[in-house]
Homo-oligomer: A and B are copies of this chain.
Amino acid sequence: MSGRRTIQRSAIIEVIYDATGPLRLEEILELASRKVPTLGIATVYRHLKRLQDAGEVRAVELDINDVRYEPTGQDHHHHFLCRACGDAFNIHECPKGIAKLALPGFEVDEHQVTLYGRCSDCSSSK
C-alpha cells in the first residue's frame, strides 16, 4: 500500500480525511485542486480506486447517483443526507438489534442506515 508520496496523493488523502462526512468525487477534485491546481480528474479516479483496493477508503451511496467516499477506520457510523444543501453528515449512534429484522434463515453481516431531511443550518433558515 505504499506508492510514491506525490503532492497529488497527499492532497487527495488530506481532503478525504479532513471531511466531516463522505465526499463526492467532484468535491474531492475541487478541494484538492486548491492545493494542487494542475490536478487532473484521472488522478483522482486512480487514487480513489487504489485507496479502496487498499481498504483505506470506502464508497457509500446515500442516494441515487450519489457515490461518496469516506475513510474506513472511522468508528461504526451511519449517515444523514440533507436534501436541501446536499451535504452528508456522519451519525455516530446505531439502532440496536437491527440484524434481527431479517427473515429467518438470512445471515446478516453488515447494515446501513441513512436518514434524509434537512440539516440544522437548512432547517433553521427556511
Interface residues of A (CB under 8 A from B): 59-61, 63-67, 78, 80, 82, 89, 91, 93-95, 97-99, 101-120, 123-124
Copies assembled: 2
Q: Which residue of B lies closest to A120 (CB)?
A: B105
20 chain-A/chain-B pairs, Cβ below 8 angstroms: A61-B61, A61-B65, A61-B66, A78-B101, A80-B103, A80-B106, A93-B101, A95-B97, A95-B98, A95-B101, A98-B113, A98-B115, A103-B120, A106-B117, A109-B117, A111-B113, A111-B114, A111-B115, A111-B116, A112-B113
Are B113's CB and A101's CB within 8 A?
A: yes
Are B98's CB and A102's CB within 8 A?
A: no
